[in-house]
Structure 1
Amino acid sequence: MKLSDGVEQAIHSVTMLSGLSADGVLSAAALAEFHGVSPSYLLKHLQALSGAGIVQTLPGPKGGYRLARPPEKVTLLDIVLAVEGAGPAFRCNEIRRRGPNPLPAHLLTKPCGINAAMLRAEQAYRAELRRVSIADILADVGAMDDGTIVARGCAFLDIHERKSGSKA
C-alpha cells in the first residue's frame, strides 16, 4: 500500500500545530516553508483536515490554522482518512467473473477469498493507526530528542506564529 505524500505532510503539519499557544495560528505558507513542501499541495491537505474537524481555519490577515481538538484526540487514522478518503485501499472488481472461462455462478456465492484477506489486513492496519495519537508521536519524539527538534520548532514558531485574538 502506498500513501500519498500528503499524508506525511498532514501528519507533520498537525504535529507542528500542536505546539501553538492557545490563541496561536500558523499560515499554510509558514507550514509549507517549515516542511519545504509546495504551499498549494499542502493547502489542499489542510483543507481536507479542516473538513474532517482535525484543524480549525481562521480567516483574515491574522488567520491561519490550529488544531480543532487536543493532540491526544487526533489519531493517525483520522489524518490518513482525511487525506486519502475513507474507501478501502483494496477494491475487489470480481475478476473471477471475467475472462474467457469465468467461474460458474454457483462458485461465486461467497465473497472472494482474496478480497476477504485484503480487508482483514486493512482492518489490522487501520486498528494500528487508530491506536496512535499525535500526542503519542510527540511523546516518542520527546523521548529521543536531545533538544534539537524542540528548539527548531520553537524558533520557527517564535517567528511565524500569529495571535488570532480568539481562543479555540
Structure 2
Amino acid sequence: MKLSEGVEAAIHSAAMLAGVEGGATMPASALAEAFGLSPSYLLKHLQALTAARILESVPGPSGGYRLARVPEKISLLDIVLAVEGPRPAFRCGEIRRNSPARIDASAYVQPCGINAAMLRAERAYRAALAAEKLSDIVTEFMADADSRVVHAACAFAAQHARPQKSASRS
C-alpha cells in the first residue's frame, strides 16, 4: 500500500503543531518552510486536516493553524483518513467475472475471497493506525531523536509560533 506524500506532510505538520503551546498558532508558510514543501501543496493538506477537525484555522494577520484537539486524542488513522479519504485502499472490481467463458452471474454468489482477505488486512492496518497517537509520536521524537534535531525543531516552532488570545483544544 502506498500513501500519498501528503500523509507524511500532514503528520509532520500536526506533530510540529503539538509542540506549539498556549493555543498559539503557526502560519502555513512556516510549516511549509520547516519541511521544505510548497506552501500551496501543504495548504491543501492543512485544509483537509481542518475540515476533519484535527486542526483549527485562526484567521487574520497573526492567525495560522493549531491543533483542534489534544495530541492524545489524535490518531494516525485520523490524519490518514483526513488526507486520503475513508475509502479502502483495495477496491475490488470483480474482474473474476471477466472470464472469456462468460459464466452466468449466479455462479458468483460468494463474495470474492481476494476482496475479503484485503478488507481483513485493511481493518488490521486501520486498527494499528488508530492505536498510534500523535502524543506518542511526539514523546518518542523528544526522547529518541538526536538532540540537535530536537533543539532545531523546538527553536523553529518557538520562533514561528503566534500567541493567541484564546484557544479551544479539547
2:149, 2:37 → 1: CA distance? 19
Find out whether 1:75 has 2:105 as its counterpart. no
2:103, 2:33 → 1: CA distance? 55
SS in structure 2 opposite 1:102? coil
Q: Which 4+ residue blocks in structure 1 deviate beyond 6 angstroms?
A: none
Find out whether 1:20 has 2:20 as its counterpart. yes
Task: Report how far residue 105 of structure 1 moved.
Answer: 2.6
1:146, 1:35 → 2: CA distance? 17
Extract unaligned runs of 5+ from structure 2. Answer: none
Comparing 38-47 with 97-106, greater Cα deviation is found at 97-106
1:148 aligned partner? 148
Deviations along 1:119-161, one digit per CA (max 9) or x if unpaired, are: 0111111010000000111122122134223211221123211
Any conservation in 1 of the 2:7–2:84 contact (CA below 8 Å)?
A: yes
Comparing 115-124 with 152-161, greater Cα deviation is found at 152-161
Deviations along 1:26-70, one digit per CA (max 9) or x if unpaired, are: 010000000101111100000000000000000000110000000
How many residues of Structure 1 are paired with residues of Structure 2 in the alignment?
168
Comparing 32-41 with 100-109, greater Cα deviation is found at 100-109
1:96, 1:102 → 2: CA distance? 10
1:57 aligned partner? 57
Distance 1:11 1:156, change over 3 A: same
TM value normalised by structure 2: 0.94
Any conservation in 2 of the 1:96–1:102 contact (CA below 8 Å)?
A: no
CA RMSD of aligned residues (A): 1.2
Deviations along 1:11-36, one digit per CA (max 9) or x if unpaired, are: 00000000111131001000000010
Any conservation in 2 of the 1:27–1:64 contact (CA below 8 Å)?
A: yes
Any conservation in 1 of the 2:48–2:82 contact (CA below 8 Å)?
A: yes
